[in-house]
Amino acid sequence: MIVGLTGGIGSGKTTVAKLFYKLGVPIYVSDIEAKKIMITSDKVVVAIRKLLGNDAYNDDGELNRNHISDKVFENKSLLNELNSIVHPAVAEDFLNWYAVQKTDYVIKESAILFESGSFKNCDLIITVTAPLEERINRVVSRDNVTRKQVLHRVMNQLSDEDKIDRSDFIIINKTLDRTESQVEKINTQITNIIQKNT
């Protein structure tokens, strides 16, 4: 079974993913894998250079994140074009990873699970949410960016309300203890669903 894990920027998806991992659930972190693919896949690199220019990469071959962010976050059609290059490559990479997993279920963590369409391949979906101010403060301190920049990213993502409406489970991430107990409860519920279906 494939369980999608999503949530807005700063909601705490990474924390929740780590808690599931502690319970023995394999985790595929789409964002991390996408960044790897963007520098290791010749086909993807060529397409990104063509779309965003050679400045999309530093001299050492690593991504020039500032250049890419400046280009795409002010231009939705450019962002969509970039996504159309990266998303199919990530989807293929996920399926290769999934094929070798041995557990009852795996988690595919993606900030843009719905926007990318990858929710369609998930059997169940978990959305992580947190109060907006907490999310902003987390990202400001984590990424060393301004409040305005964080709000801009938030506005570019599907709203929490939309994500929640389309999810099977919701985790409200305020304190680690409460989040951990929610994860354990959901893990039990998913396991029960799998047992009923086998």
Average pLDDT over every residue of 159-174: 95
pLDDT value, residue 150:
86
Domain residue spans of the chain: 1-26+105-198, 31-100
Mean pLDDT of 82-86: 92
DSSP 123: S
Query: Is residue 5 packed enough to be buried (19+ CB in 10 Å), middle (13-18) or exposed (0-12)?
Result: buried
Give CA–CA dist 96/91, Å, rounded: 9
**54 contacts: CB under 8 Å, gap ≥ 6:** none
pTM for the complete prediction? Answer: 0.89
Average pLDDT over residues 115-128: 93
Q: What is the pLDDT of residue 74?
A: 74
Q: Where are the beta strands (DSSP E) in the chain?
A: 2-7, 27-29, 106-109, 124-129, 169-172
Instruction: Report the top-level CATH class of 1-26+105-198.
Output: alpha beta
Confidence of residue 56 (pLDDT cuts 50, 70, 90): very high
Q: For the chain, percent helix, then strand, then coil, each to nearest 5?
A: 60, 15, 25
CA dihedral over 143, 67, 39, 59, signed as positive or negative: negative
